[in-house]
Homo-oligomer: A and B are copies of this chain.
Amino acid sequence: MEGARNLTGKKSDSPLWKGRSSGMVNDIMLEMGESISLDIELFEEDIRGSKIHSEMLNKIGILSKEELQKIHTGLDQIREEIIEGQMDLRIELEDIHTHIENRLTELTGDTGKKLHTARSRNDQIALDTHLYVKKSAIQSMKSMYDLCEALLKRAEEHTDFLLPGYTHMQVAQPIRLSHHLLAHFWSFLRDFDRFHQSFQSADRLPLGSGAMAGVNYPTDRKYIQKKLNFQSIYPNSMDAVSTRDHIMDFLYASGVFMVHASRISEEIIIWNSIEFSFITLPDSLTTGSSIMPQKKNPDLAELSRGKTGRVCGNLFSLMTNLKGLPLTYNRDLQEDRFPLLDSSKQIQMTSQALTEMIRTAVFNKHNMQSSLEKGFATATDLADALVSEKNIPFREAHHIAGDLVRVCMENGCTLQTISDELRAKISPLLEDRAFFRNAIDLFKSADKKISESGTSLPRQKDQLNQAQQELSSRKEILKRNAEPS
């Protein structure tokens, strides 16, 4: 035991629990117990909560108007000091609450101490993380909105680009690029809704629960609720200080978003390969080499994919942490902070990276078409046409189409480039050039997908409209929550 030290190198003389009889505190207690290195990021929430709490205390007669004023002035000053980087972080002061409490007492004396009437660190940290989740959820919803908007815009621009739809990474059918981009649009729109759910999950006021049994004062929780914009109040004080559901919900929404992000990132990475060359990313979003200007490393897509494990890991970290914890507050719960703050940061970066890439990518129509041709994407359409227009049995039609593909492969050509002679050799039914051209036409193939949600042009227009409407409704949700949440 080497004695208490702090981050700033000064000897500590005032651990919060210094009232303890034999109060020597071990170094490892300070080092392991501190959370200030993380929860300093919650200072806005902590101060905001304290201001409203003090207003309530004034309302129920515990603080005088003057005391309230003093406390507000003090808290405003502390906020400025933190923003300006003037607050020393001292591990013996453990957490953000104590740092602020300590400084407030320096500034206001006993008045400051009164602020802590009718609350505990247990419900105070719960309040802070609820406010933080709400803030991060709104930010994330905005990010999802931006990403969806970018995808929709690019989809609108690319209804006449065809590319292969893949199954098993094999060329399957011609689809419109708009269709492909919108597939991701819907996915990220669901992420918007999932973040919204996590917002609602955090939209419950925990403050007023005390250590866990409630407090000995006739507090006015509805006042606090109203001023802090909470939808409801936790009906059970023990639940309020024990639950981390709101954080799990946010971490889960983050995890699913990252899974989605990793899927489009994988496509960007593959499309950006020289072999596919479906996409060109701007220099400002890639790294490369002066010698090989064609080499553009899609770092942002790789990092987005790579961070998926991290954000999912954060969810599992918390779930494992909570497993088997009895009620109510256990110190284990302090470990909720890292996953929350980290995931929040990772998804902001990732969503911004994706949005930038989507906004700026150039799609290479020619290479997409080339893959469709190399992949014989309309061989099945030909077989269908043989059945419907040439009235031959299904089995025979399949046989002819299969033979044709095989001959193309042997001769290094495609359905589009095979010579009339070669074609005629396979079957007299293929001699009809107009029929054949029509049957293997890539756009016509796409336009046969007339079912709702399909890739035909009219259905794409429908889908674009629907996407626009859904996006507008999300804009309304954002507006409703634009006020300081």
Contacts and interface: CB of A to CB of B under 8 A. Distances in A.
A363 interface: no
A471 to B, nearest CB: 12
B28 A349 contact: yes
Interface string A343-379: 0000001101100100000000000000100111001
Nearest to A301: B331
A308 B323 contact: yes
Interface in A288-302: 288-300, 302
A210 interface: yes
Given A170-B273, A170-B297, A383 B291 contact: yes
Contacts of A456: 214
A235 B322 contact: no
A91 B107 CA distance: 37
A435 interface: no
A453 B171 CA distance: 37
A296 B167 CA distance: 10
Interface string A316-335: 11111111111111111111
Contact of A211 (B167, B186, B270): B167
Interface size class of A (residues with CB under 8 A): 35 or more
A348 B332 CA distance: 17
A169 to B, nearest CB: 5
Interface stretch (A18-26, A128-136, A475-483): A18-26
B1 A190 contact: no
A228 interface: no
Given A214-B450, A310-B338, A326-B267, A296 B170 contact: yes
A245 B256 contact: yes
Contacts of A118: 451
Contacts of A175: 212-213, 238
Interface stretch (A41-49, A69-77, A258-266, A422-430): A258-266
A283 interface: yes
Contact of A217 (B26, B272, B380, B451): B451
A458 to B, nearest CB: 11
Give the number of times this chain occurs in the complex, counting copies: 4
Chain B CB count within 10 A is highest, among A24, A248, A399, A452, for A452
A459 B309 CA distance: 36
Given A183-B239, A309-B320, A331-B306, A289 B446 contact: no
Contact of A263 (B174, B276, B314, B326): B326
Given A238-B183, A245-B187, A349-B28, A165 B451 contact: no
A221 interface: yes
Contacts of A401: 291
A237 interface: yes
Interface in A1-60: 1, 17, 19-26, 28-29, 31-33
A83 interface: no
Contact of A19 (B233, B270, B289, B330): B289
Given A208-B451, A291-B383, A298-B168, A327 B180 contact: yes
A303 interface: yes
Interface string A145-175: 0000000000000000000011111111111
Nearest to A32: B349
A283 to B, nearest CB: 4
Interface in A217-262: 217-219, 221, 233-240, 242-243, 245, 248, 252, 255-256, 259, 262
B330 A293 contact: no
A272 B380 CA distance: 21
Given A449-B215, A463-B236, A302 B262 contact: no
Interface in A414-451: 446, 448-451
Contact of A283 (B20, B307, B349): B20
A95 interface: no
A357 to B, nearest CB: 9
What are the nearest 6 A-B pairs in CB distance?
Answer: A214-B454, A306-B332, A313-B317, A309-B320, A214-B449, A19-B290
5 contacts: A165-B327, A182-B239, A214-B453, A303-B331, A306-B331
